[in-house]
Amino acid sequence: MPPRKSIVAIACFVLLSTLILSVRQLGKARPDLLGKLVPSTVINEPHAGEKGGNEVAGHPCAEDVSWLTDLDIKYPVKYAEREVVVRPEPGLKRESLTKTDETLFPRVEELLEADDSHLELRDCKPPITLHVPLYPTAPVDASNMIFGIATTLERLEDSRHHIARWLAHTGAKLFVIAIKPGEGDAPTSEQIETKQSVMRDQGMDVTLVTPLSKDETFTESYFSLVKVMYTHRTNETTWFVVMDDDTFFPSMQSLQAMLKRYDPAEQYWIGAISESWWSVGRYGMMAFGGAGIFLSRALTAVLDKEYETCTKEMHKAAGGDERIMRCINGHTATKLTNEPALHQMDISGDLSGVYESGRIPLSLHHWRGGDYPVDLMNLVSDICGDCFLQRWQFGKDTVLTNSFSIAEYPEGESADGLDFCKAEMTWDSRTIEESVNPGTAHSMSPSRPRLELDKQKIQHRLVESATVEGSVRQTYIHRGKEDEERDTVLVLYWKREDQQAPANKNGTDSI
């Protein structure tokens, strides 16, 4: 028989080996026990030549990427993807910027040919969990609101899907005055009925009407929306909203929350002045129509009563929103209640700095003027509620502006002048000589200078989004600037925590 000490040593060795093996197997089955993806955990992706440290281990996987053939990209491309799991938390407040030491993407990999429908990825990361404020899941009841638009049938068709994103199945009513296009013919009753039927089939309570008078100008039709909406009010109606055909409201829930702060039995004129100080100087302190003009029931009753008088008095007014302002100023003591989260967007050029500012918009405007597919951008709200344009910073050099961009900052957050609390002045604005306001100080402050793209900032813009069996896919692309520089495709799949991973990533529904 071997000595007793030898037996004890062998037994201890076997026990210790078994314990280590059990922990390893447990870690494979429950990676969260070993520090899985907690947003505040320091988990940094190494740069080339560095070791992993706290890096979350990846694994090989195969992905269906056949849907990429519908995008205007040049092959070969660089590709990476990640699944995002949304965890709603009661009492959590949405901040301008939420920081995590987690890395968003693994190293990018190459997709060689356009006809490669499957991609073998060497480094697939586990899902990342992002915490968002708890959001209502019940349908919003906006039956207290009537919206009004004056536009042509052609422009209405261009905006139809965008309007459906926020209006459909809410109980809110929309009245559209169908005007004739420039020097063209007025729409026929059959054309009006067809367009109305199409929009109603999308779940919108919409009524298309002809102008109140045959020779009515666009400006006159715009102002007449006040009378049309008030005539069709119900006992439930408390708010009337005049808007442009390219006004977009990201969240009806948020609009309702804003209006609850005001008593519709009092005279309220709610809107936003322009972001451009030049426009404010030109048109005055009025609610600009592109941001949305919100009129309480009490105030609309006065405007309806004074409609004929105001129509005669305001014949020289340049715009419909200006007519509304003059009628209010001429016949009431009501002053504008400015809601800065409503956006007229009277600025030009690259509006990235506005979208990436971390602000929560109640409305957006002029999305036709640039590459801003707000209907696609807003699709992720179906998964994470009031997360549209919400910002997360990953590590020290990557910022996700949800549904707009993924921006990498090669010099990191400590770079000179880089302050994410300030809006980057990417836009162009008109200035007024001898004014202390250089153009947008009243609306976009604090701000910081524009960064040099592809040197100080590498921006991947959203180009595609689709529902994928209950999840939402987002595709962000950075275009290679030279022939030898490849396009980079970054893909996020968003799902709620209670959802299973999608089996088919081709996209079953997109706008």
Q: From 476, 324, 327, 392, select the one nearest 96 (Cα to Cα).
A: 392
Across the chain, which has 511 residues, the per-10-residue mean pLDDT values are 45 44 36 26 32 51 82 87 95 95 84 70 86 91 98 96 97 97 88 98 98 90 97 98 97 97 98 95 94 98 96 82 96 98 94 96 89 93 96 96 97 86 93 86 94 95 94 95 84 85 46 37
Predicted pLDDT at 504: 44
The confidence score (pLDDT) of residue 19 equals 39
pLDDT of residue 56: 54
pLDDT at position 18: 44
Q: Which long-range contacts (CB under 8 A, 24 or more apart) does 279-282 make?
A: 279/344, 279/346, 279/430, 280/442, 281/432, 281/435
**Letter string b/e over residues 26-56, b meaning 16 or more CB atoms within 10 A of that residue's CB:** eeeeeeeeeebbebeeebbbeeeeeeeeeeb
pTM to 2 decimals? 0.85
Q: Residue 434 burial by CB count (10 A; 0-12/13-18/19+): exposed, middle or buried? A: exposed
Closest CA to 277 of 446, 445, 439, 435: 439
Burial 141-179 (b: 16+ CB within 10 A, else e): ebebbbbbbbbbbebbeebbebbbbbbbebebbbbbbbb
In whole angstroms, what is the distance from residue 374 CA to residue 246 CA?
10
Which residue type occupies 235?
N
Q: Of 461, 460, 462, 459, give the one whose Cα is nearest residue 379.
A: 462
Question: What is the pLDDT, as a whole number, of residue 53?
Answer: 35
Strands 109-111 and 77-89: antiparallel
